[in-house]
Amino acid sequence: MSKKFSDFALGPELLDALAAMGFESPSPIQAAAIPVILTGRDVIGQAQTGTGKTAAFGIPAVHRMDPVLKPHRPGTLILVPTRELAEQVAGEINEIGQFKGVHAVAIYGGASFGPQIKELREGVPVVVGTPGRVMDHMRRGNIHLNDLKLFILDEADRMLDMGFIDDIKWVLKKTPRDAQKLLFSATMPVEIMNLASEVMDNPETVAVSEDKFTVEGTEQVYYQIGYRNKPWLLYRILEAEKPDLAFVFCRTKIEVDKVARLLKGSGFAAEALHGDMTQKARNKVMENVRESKTRIVIATDVLARGIDVSHCTHVINYDVPEDPEWYVHRIGRTGRMGKTGKAITFVTREESRALLDIMDVSQGKVRLETVPEPKEAGKKKDKIKKVMDWRELADPTGMVHFRVKGIGSQDGAKMMDLFKAINKKCRFRENTLGHLQVFDDHFTVQVPDFDADYFYNAFEEGKLLDKDVTAEVMEKDDEEY
């Protein structure tokens, strides 16, 4: 396996661009695919998002393209399933080709035809588009494939899932028979293999197995935290890590918006990214990311596979993904192109089962961490405060265990007297409290998690049977627990 991009037969403009992009060494899929693609052979690449597959086909594409512009006649056509991916792939091609003068245009629905037609009329070496919009331009005579050297189908399995297979076949029929064809897919359903056999000429298959997907350069850690304290933990981590670019993944759009508001209110350059936003708004977020104006993006899983950036340093799983496969897609944002990265997962008690699944797909590489302390302890206060998360503190039966100091058997306190006094002060029903045990100078009592706040506020510092008392939450390893 080649260890450096200079091991490939690439021109100096390309190597300079890769260096400027911070690409230090080829990923496994790049090392396997680029030399084969450069020979001109058709290639089937099996690789998931996050393995660096865009550069695996983008580098050879730029290498093969002539910067001389031909109106309406691109040299490379790349079909992708979504508008987001079209923008991202085109953006990466433009970075790779920045010193060679090779550029790409993104063609997709939901955007005005005018600017796209103008670019195609002036000539563009690489067109990246969704099938429907590419077909529209071809029917209107804005795209001719007569001079096409390279046809690339990206995320083929997603194309199949989204019902694009007939559109792809229509475009392929218009593609010159001698054009080199590349097909990339995370999985290889029968329909995709049948398509490859129909249109490709003795293709070579290169693959990155799923067990290699969790990039070696990605440090994987998790924190045990209650749901209510996730914002506080996120604040602590961002303050401690100071990421160049972090993607924070939440399970719902409502949670994304909530976290984005909290972070913005705490002074972070953060933006939300989810499917309810307009295409223009989503494009603006990604533009700000590429220009380093936005350093924290809070996103949903729906967009996880569509995000393709090379300079993400941190991925934070604010919510544990329901499917361990999504964990793989999420952490694929970081630790790329030979760089180091960090994947951080927040795990509540309810999510402990999902943690075992993550441990399985990561081959046990996820380790437990303790919450980072402020670097200037005692001087810098958290802008997002920690709160009492009673549900997380409760035992499996839903009871929070308290120790109340300042009154005990040496004061003549009896169990029934304490029950009655607590119920009266907290306005609890007679059967609210759990087990209560009296010791010499204190007593312990179990309180339902939904009533624990009332109890704690009453007795954190208060009076009971005319005695000054203080209540504290007991740890699970306490011998009196």
Q: Cα torsion for 28, 33, 34, 35, to the nearest 10°? A: 110
Q: DSSP secondary-structure letter at 374?
A: P
What CATH architecture does domain 218-368 belong to? 3-Layer(aba) Sandwich (3.40)
What CATH architecture does domain 390-473 belong to? 2-Layer Sandwich (3.30)
Per-residue pLDDT of the chain (481 residues; tens, 9 = 90+): 446 888 888 989 999 988 887 677 788 888 899 999 999 999 999 876 666 788 899 999 999 998 888 899 999 999 998 887 888 889 889 989 999 999 999 999 878 899 999 999 999 999 999 999 999 999 999 999 999 999 999 988 888 888 899 999 999 999 999 999 999 988 788 888 888 888 999 999 998 754 444 455 688 899 999 888 999 999 999 999 899 889 999 988 889 999 999 999 888 989 998 877 776 787 788 888 878 888 999 988 755 555 555 568 899 999 988 767 677 767 766 655 555 688 899 998 878 778 888 887 777 688 898 988 876 655 567 888 888 889 888 988 899 999 999 999 999 999 999 999 999 999 999 899 999 999 999 999 999 999 999 999 999 889 999 999 999 999 888 888 8
Phi, psi of 247 (to 5 degrees): -105, 125
Report which of 274, 243, 245, 246 is spatially closest to residue 258, judged by C-alpha positions.
Answer: 274
Q: Distance between CA atoms of 163 and 18, rounded to whole angstroms?
A: 35
What's residue 316's pLDDT? 93
Q: Distance between CA atoms of 306 and 310, rounded to whole angstroms?
A: 13
Phi, psi of 318 (to 5 degrees): -60, -40
215 contacts 336 by C-beta, under 8 angstroms: yes
Tokens, residue 130: 């969704």
- 10 Å CB burial of residue 113 (0-12, 13-18, 19+) is middle
Q: Distance between CA atoms of 72 and 122, rounded to whole angstroms?
A: 7
Q: Do the first three CATH levels of 5-212 and 218-368 match, i.e. the same topology?
A: yes
> pTM higher than 0.75 for the full model?
no
Q: Helix (H, G, I), strand (E, B), or coil: what is residue 298?
A: strand
Q: Distance between CA atoms of 22 and 349, rounded to whole angstroms?
A: 39
318 contacts 250 by C-beta, under 8 angstroms: yes
Q: DSSP secondary-structure letter at 375?
A: T
Q: What is the CA radius of gyration of the chain?
A: 29
Q: Where are the domains of the chain?
A: 5-212, 218-368, 390-473
What CATH architecture does domain 5-212 belong to? 3-Layer(aba) Sandwich (3.40)
Phi, psi of 112 (to 5 degrees): -65, 140
Parallel/antiparallel/unpaired status of strands 442-448 and 436-438? antiparallel
Q: Distance between CA atoms of 260 and 251, rounded to whole angstroms?
A: 14
Report which of 233, 253, 193, 215 is spatially closest to residue 374, judged by C-alpha positions.
Answer: 233
> 């983008």: which residue's tokens?
58
What's residue 285's pLDDT? 84
156 contacts 184 by C-beta, under 8 angstroms: yes
